[in-house]
Amino acid sequence: MKELILVLTGAGISAESGVPTFRGEGGLWKQFKPEELATPQAFFKNPKLVWEWYDWRRQIISKAEPNEAHLLLAELERRLENFFIITQNVDGLHQKAGSKKVIELHGNIWRVKCTNCKEEYELYEVPLKEIPPKCKYCGGLLRPAVVWFGESLPEKALSESFALAKNCKLFLVIGTSGVVYPAGYLPFLAKQHGAKIVEINPESTPISKIADVVIREKASKGLRLFEKML
Ligand code: APR
């Protein structure tokens, strides 16, 4: 089996598609307070407010197209036998670009979960006609099927990601500030197990100090340069 190349992506890879990042200039956490919008407590205190914010993000994402970086990663998956993407993003742009082997650590903004009957399904309606939306099975209150602060990550996604990080030879980290765990731990775990770390990010992050190669570029240009290294 060919050596495993693993990719971890964050909001930065979707920046060139017009999807706002969370931190850095123009980031969502500069305009909004995460504790007011991205926690279970905030949701149950004011589901309408939280859903208005997610509906606004879904409207932005529905107009976003995969950019060259997403497309290059989909191309690399087709070309390389042993290649996986682990993403913190919930925008679904990797899949829209054609990537098949994608692990979504923080869920997906197009999936909803019923807080009553626990059913989970895809809801692409945008904008939402009813806010907060109700479950099509039981009429209960729906929530976005994304991971909020203080919540645990999907068990299967997490265990698969840890196993891949321990077994990869090359770990490419693109467009993440590396400050949110456990996703941010994956590059360190890979390094401990002998992987080469390549970071593509216009800014320095905590991952930069363990990177064997740092490409201080935006995702699209950085991936074009990375491809030449292969
Ligand atoms: N190309 C590559 N990287 C970019 C670009 C770009 N065009 N523009 C910005 N970046 C980088 C920034 O320098 C920053 O390091 O992308 C990173 C974005 O960091 P964050 O906004 O913190 O996003 P992310 O790391 O994905 O956040 C992790 O935090 O709020 C939670 O659940 C949310 O999944 C998210 C998690």
pLDDT reported for residue 26: 87
- Kindly state whether residues 57 and 85 are assigned to the same domain: no
pLDDT reported for residue 48: 97
Which pLDDT tens digit goes with each residue over 133-163? 999 999 999 999 999 999 999 999 999 999 9
In the numeric block, which tokens belong to residue 54?
């997610």
Which pLDDT tens digit goes with each residue over 196-230? 999 999 999 999 999 999 999 999 999 999 999 88
Which pLDDT tens digit goes with each residue over 77-103? 999 989 999 999 999 999 999 999 999
- Kindly state whether residues 157 and 191 are assigned to the same domain: yes
- Kindly state whether residues 99 and 133 are assigned to the same domain: no
Last residue of a domain, one of 146, 171, 205: 146
Report the atom number in ligand 1 closest to the C-alpha of 205: 15
Mean pLDDT of 116-140: 98
114 has a pLDDT exceeding 80: yes
CB 168 within 8 A of CB 5: yes
Domain span at residue 138 reads 20-63+110-146
- Kindly state whether residues 131 and 217 are assigned to the same domain: no
- Kindly state whether residues 184 and 170 are assigned to the same domain: yes
Report the atom number in ligand 1 closest to the C-alpha of 34: 30
Residues 6+ apart with CB under 8 A from 23: 29, 30, 177, 179
Which pLDDT tens digit goes with each residue over 3-43? 999 999 999 999 999 999 999 888 999 999 998 999 999 99
- Kindly state whether residues 191 and 228 are assigned to the same domain: yes
Sheet holding 213-215, edge to edge: 102-104, 83-87, 5-9, 170-174, 196-200, 213-215
Known catalytic residue at 70: no
Determine the residue of 22, 25, 87, 179 to mutate for testing ligand 1's pocket, defined as the one with the most ligand atoms within 8 A of the Cβ atom: 22
The domain that contains 55 carries what CATH number? 3.30.1600.10
- Kindly state whether residues 10 and 91 are assigned to the same domain: yes
1 has a pLDDT exceeding 80: no
Instruction: State the residue for tokens 């400050």.
Output: 179
The domain that contains 200 carries what CATH number? 3.40.50.1220
- Kindly state whether residues 11 and 24 are assigned to the same domain: no
Got the DSSP string for 116-140?
A: TT--EEE---SS-SSSS-B-TTT-P
- Kindly state whether residues 58 and 77 are assigned to the same domain: no
In the numeric block, which tokens belong to residue 162?
């840890």
Sheet holding 107-114, edge to edge: 120-122, 107-114, 142-146
Q: 125 alpha carbon to ligand 1 midpoint, in Å?
A: 26
- Kindly state whether residues 70 and 137 are assigned to the same domain: no
Q: 69 alpha carbon to ligand 1 midpoint, in Å?
A: 14
Ligand 1, residues at Cβ distance < 6 Å = 10-13, 15-16, 21-24, 27, 88, 106, 175-177, 180, 201-203, 205, 218-219
Looking at residue 91, what DSSP letter applies?
Answer: S
Count Cα neighbours of 71 within 13 Å in the Cβ-side half-sphere.
Answer: 9
- Kindly state whether residues 204 and 91 are assigned to the same domain: yes
Catalytic residue among 70, 94, 106, 193: 106
pLDDT reported for residue 25: 83
* Alpha-carbon span 50 to 66, nearest angstrom: 26
Q: Is 171 helix (H, G, I), strand (E, B) or coil?
A: strand
Last residue of a domain, one of 89, 119, 146: 146
Q: How many domains does the chain have?
A: 2
Last residue of a domain, one of 146, 162, 195: 146
Determine the residue of 23, 36, 203, 220 to mutate for testing ligand 1's pocket, defined as the one with the most ligand atoms within 8 A of the Cβ atom: 23
pLDDT reported for residue 223: 98
In the numeric block, which tokens belong to residue 150?
């203080």
pLDDT reported for residue 81: 84
Nearest CA to ligand 1 atom 17: 176
**Environment class of 46 (CB within 10 Å of its CB; exposed 0-12, middle 13-18, buried 19+):** middle
- Kindly state whether residues 24 and 13 are assigned to the same domain: no
Model-level pTM? 0.97
